[in-house]
Structure formats: structure tokens, C-alpha cells
Structure 1
């Protein structure tokens, strides 16, 4: 019969071996290159350990280790891609733009765990919080954007705004998640009829813009031509102004010179002015200078080659001819 002492010895030995095994198996752990670990001491989170390799700790239940991946995760919002097949969830992606149009928008969010302790203990389901925050952020930004921006050139700005808002929510909720990137996968209209109507509106807007550009081009061309004509007229007027001023100065100078001659010889100058005026008024007339001394009237022809002859019908002339 086995003695009681022997039983105690066997039981103690069993407990010792079990404790030794427990200590030996739970006093060390390894961290892989793609992992990050957090130590929990009597329910309290210690500093995280991210260096790969072998590490030691107090045995369970004093300390335990939780390991999390360091990889970058992808949150697919509005669709699910699995085994090469894509399953869409239109009810999740249907939202209203700022100009009261309905669009379907799905996106992918790149995120990673940056604080394992907060990820494990600050929220019951951090991925669900991330999903709901993504939905709220996307709907908020789409709701303040125009449909043209969501469908065409405004996607990059929408992505940046969604990432900024989503990052702010993750920081506020403090669940150990960091947002790396946000990418709109597809933004589309809900059905074919709406797509066709939007296409017609877009085509009409493009036609309008084309006509406006052509009108502006014609306007600019005509403006430049009118500006050129204006400058030409200004230049011509300036030239006429200068010419008239110079001509007036010449006439003033000529008048002053004539006046000086007139002061020196009034009679001669007066007769010359009369003759010049006659020549100007009647340029084709023959000019004769006559002298009537009471006996015989003679005239002096002004044309070259003519000699003075008696006036026709004078008596003295007839006698001289005889």
C-alpha cells in the first residue's frame, strides 16, 4: 500500500514539473519581421516591442504577449474583391452630392496598426470603427462637392479631403490606427438613364464653353484690330497736327518777312501782292502793264518773247506804224 508521504511526494513532484514546464514554455517568445508585440503585465499594457528576435518575460499568468501584424491593410468600402471576383454593395456607396445629385462612390483605404496596445484595448472592434468612419468621411466630402468634381477632375481633391477627415477621426477615437492612403475606385451614376442625361448636359456644357471661347477669341481679335486702327488714327492725327503747326509757322514767318518788305517799300510791295493775287486767282490770264500818258497808250506784255506794241485802235500807234 502506498504511503501518504509517497503520495505527497509524487503530487509535489508533479506540481513542480508542471510549474517548470509552464515557466519554461511561457518565459520566452519570438517576434517575426512582420510582427509587432505588446506585453501585458497583470492586465496592464507595457511598452510595445517591435524588434524581431527572441525575447524573455515573466511567465504566465504574470505576463502575456499579444502579437499583431505590421503589414499594411486595405479596407474595401462599397465592394469586396475575393478570389479575383468583385462583389459590389450599392447600398453602401449610394450618396448625395452637394448639388443634390445621386452618385455611387466606392474606395479603398490603406491603413496599419501603429499602437498595438490601443488597437487591442481602446475599442472592442477597431476595424468596424474604421469602416464607419470611412463611410462618414466619404459621405461628408461628397456631400459638399459638386457632381462634376466627383465624376471628373475633382477626384484627387476629394481623396485628399477624405484622408484628412478620416485621419482626424482616427486620432480622435485613439484606436491605434494610422491612415496611409485613400483612393477612390469608382464614382458613377446610379442608372443608365441618369448617365445619358448627365452625358447630354456635359456635352451641352462643352459646346457652350467652345462657343464662349470662340466668341472671346473673335472679341480679342476685333479688339486688337480696333486698337491698331485707333493707334493708326492717333498717329495720323498727330502727324497732321505737327504738319499744320509747321505750316502755320512757315506762313507766319512768310507774313513777317513780307511785312518787313512792305514797311520798306509800300507801293511796290502792294502792287506785287496785287499781281501775285491775280496770278493765283486767275492762273491762265494774260497780264499786261499799260501806260496811258495822254498821247499814246502802250502796254507791256508779260509773256516771254513779246515786245511792247501800241494798243489796238490808238491814233498815235497808227502814225508810228506809217
Structure 2
């Protein structure tokens, strides 16, 4: 084979390789859960977040870095091997009152600026892990062991999240902290751990009893308020009834007085008769006149039932005197 033919074949081969390189490096795809950065001679452009097929200049002029939009997790804490022994030494921390505790922490984060994530730090994940370690150690170091093991976990978690967020913003590595979850805080000694567990159970029982007592107090208070309102309502009703009754009595008395003023003698006799009817509702009244025109009312039927029958002579003497015995 001649040298010329070899050169032609080599040229065609190189041309083919270049064409293949151009074909396969001038396009890229971005998924819905991904974002891309096009790098031109080491200079990153704006992030590409639209999903689908995209085109660029062939390599080595431009290249792409595909990054995920999903949320990642970093677990910082203790773990156990098959024998049950602690193998992660980073989990040991000292509290503010100089006790050793084992802390289990999970940090959720995601990439918010692909350009900074790629170029502002050599290993942003390691920086984030170191920042999480520094944050939890700082917060645990300023907390008491009692708070770390019992009811202070929520506050420790919130302080750790705030401190870690400020550190990540300061480092400017293109990531954002989505959440910090304090999984657990334990003691390395089993006996001390059991003692603090007993303390926690006692506090929970105490809180339960307090809540039950408050519930009973609220219930009894509401019942007392209801009874008080009922008594007030009844008293108000009786008050209104008494007032209306008094007004009615005043109106009746006023009417009687007006009638009495018009005819005093007849009204007086009528009042006496009505009074006797009320006092002796079952008696038969007999009206008898004497010489002095005085009205006398005797319950003769009742007297006849209570006394033996009178003789004829006594009846006559009663007629003469105008009185009944």
C-alpha cells in the first residue's frame, strides 16, 4: 500500500472520529429531576433547568455537568455493627455540664446554585458535613445533659438548624439546608441511660397527671359556671315574677280602693264576705240581721257537725236575741 493511500485512509478515519465526536457531544438531555450547567473553556454558564433535549458546541469547546434537584441526606451520628458496639467515634460529644453523650443527627439538603456547587468548593459535601458536626457540637456543648436527654431536644434541633444554615450561607457553596432532624441522644453507659430513662418516664407521668388535673379543673369550672348561670337565671325569673305579682296586687288594690272610695259600706261588706269564703271554703254561711244592722256570719253547718244538736228552746232563745250559740 502506498504512502498516499495510507494518509488518505488515516485522514478519513480521523474525520470519521471527529464527526462521531461532534454528533455525540453536541446534544444532551435534562430530566425533570435534574439541572445542567454548560461549561465553556472552564467558564460555567447559567443553569439549565428545562427538561428535554438541548444542544451545545462539541467537546472540548463545551461540556455539561448534570446535577440532581432532589433532596439529599447526610447522616451524622452513631451507628452499631453486628456486635452492637459503637463504631462511629464522631458521635461522642461533651455537654455543657461535662457529660459525654452520643448524638444521632440527619441533615437534609439540596443544590440551589449548580455553578457555586461546582466551582466554589472542591468538596462541598465534606464542607457541609464538617459544618453539621461543628453546629451540633456547639449546641450540645452549651446544653445540659438533662435537656439533651429529655425535653430539650426540640430546642437543640432548632438551634442546630439555625447555626448550620448560617454557616452554609457563609461558605457560599451553592447548597441549602432543608431540615435538621435530631434522631436521638443517648448515654454511652447502660446504667446511667436506664436512670435517665426512668427520669423521662417520671416526667411524662407527671405531665400526664398535670394535664388530667387541668382537664378536671376545666370541667368542674365549666359545670360551676353553668350552675351559677342557672341559679342567676332562676333568681332573675323569680325576681321578675315577684315584681309582676306585686304590680298586679297593687293594681287590684288600687281598683278595690277606688271602688271602696265610691261605696265604702258595700265594698267593706263584700271584702268581708270574700275573706270569709277564702278562710272557710267548705262552710255554708248564714247572714243574720239584728237590730243594730250588724252583719254576722256563722259557719252553722260546721258547728252542727262539731257540736251536739240543740234543743228547740235554745233555738227560740237564739231567735229572740238575734244571735246563735
What is the rounded CA distance, in whole Å, between the counterparts of 2:192 and 2:237 in structure 1? 67
**What is the TM-score with the length of structure 1 in the denominator?**
0.56
1:130-145 aligned at under 5 Å gives the runs 130-143=128-141
Q: Name which of 109, 119, 122 aligns with 2:121.
A: 119
1:178 matched to 2:180: no
Conserved? CA contact 2:76–2:129, under 8 Å: yes
Conserved? CA contact 2:103–2:185, under 8 Å: yes
Q: Name which of 173, 189, 192 aligns with 1:194.
A: 192
Conserved? CA contact 1:159–1:184, under 8 Å: yes
What is the rounded CA distance, in whole Å, between the counterparts of 2:287 and 2:77 in structure 1? 117
1:20 maps to what in 2? none
What is the rounded CA distance, in whole Å, between the counterparts of 1:49 and 1:126 in structure 2? 19
What is the rounded CA distance, in whole Å, between the counterparts of 1:240 and 1:180 in structure 2? 69
Q: Name which of 103, 106, 121 aligns with 2:104.
A: 106
Which structure: larger Rg?
1
Equivalent pairs, count = 265
What is the rounded CA distance, in whole Å, between the counterparts of 1:76 and 1:271 in structure 2? 108
1:55 matched to 2:53: no
> What RMSD in Å do the two structures reach over aligned CA positions?
5.4
Gaps of at least 5 residues in structure 1 are 1-27, 58-64
1:244 maps to what in 2? 242
What is the rounded CA distance, in whole Å, between the counterparts of 1:144 and 1:238 in structure 2? 62
1:135–1:275: structure 2 CA closer, same or farther, 3 Å change rule?
same
1:262 maps to what in 2? 260
Residues 94-136 of structure 1: per-residue CA shift (max 9 Å, x gap)? 2427x9875311335567775433324xxxx877654442221
What is the rounded CA distance, in whole Å, between the counterparts of 2:252 and 2:128 in structure 1? 101
Residue 260 of structure 1 deviates from its aligned partner by: 2.0
What is the rounded CA distance, in whole Å, between the counterparts of 1:316 and 1:92 in structure 2? 126
1:216-295 aligned at under 5 Å gives the runs 216-277=214-275, 289-292=288-291
1:205 matched to 2:203: yes
Conserved? CA contact 1:48–1:117, under 8 Å: no
Q: Secondary structure at the match of 2:103?
A: strand
Larger proportion of strand: 1
**What is the TM-score with the length of structure 2 in the denominator?**
0.56
Gaps of at least 5 residues in structure 2 are 1-20, 48-54, 305-311
1:192–1:146: structure 2 CA closer, same or farther, 3 Å change rule?
same
1:101–1:270: structure 2 CA closer, same or farther, 3 Å change rule?
farther
Residue 268 of structure 1 deviates from its aligned partner by: 2.9
